[in-house]
Structure 1
């Protein structure tokens, strides 16, 4: 079973991430890309990383706006796996701008 993080640990980790908000129940980041194909390209790159990590975010795509939500569904809480995925998403988004 995954180790759920405390509220304090989540707050501390969110300070190290770009544009993420949330609580121990889940963390979220919304990004706006230059157009719809750019948004889909980012989602495609995140999909590859998610498969590598065997940990998948919830993704909402609205034209060029993409929202990522990370939570470990088996415990319904944020775990270190979610933070690693968030860091990787930050790298992908940063390279797409």
Structure 2
């Protein structure tokens, strides 16, 4: 008796041709500076059942803004860098840095 072919084959990875994308990335430096920037990164290869969707713009939910900026003092934020990638930089209060380091 022969076994029927299975339709649940393991998905295979496909080379995406070295696509690059941008991520909005927040970080806090050891000098108590909050930096929000766009960082270019590689898009990983895809499985057969995956697709890449290009997003030109997406809104930020107002309830997520506090999570994104965390303890940063946004009232004194400045931009710099290039027009294509202007990072937003501001300070983080000393008390917040102590909490971040676990000394609070």
TM-score after normalising by structure 1: 0.24
Higher relative contact order (CA 8 A, sep 6+): 1
Is the radius of gyration larger for structure 1 or structure 2? 2
Normalized per residue, the structure richer in strand is 2
Normalized per residue, the structure richer in helix is 1
TM-score after normalising by structure 2: 0.23
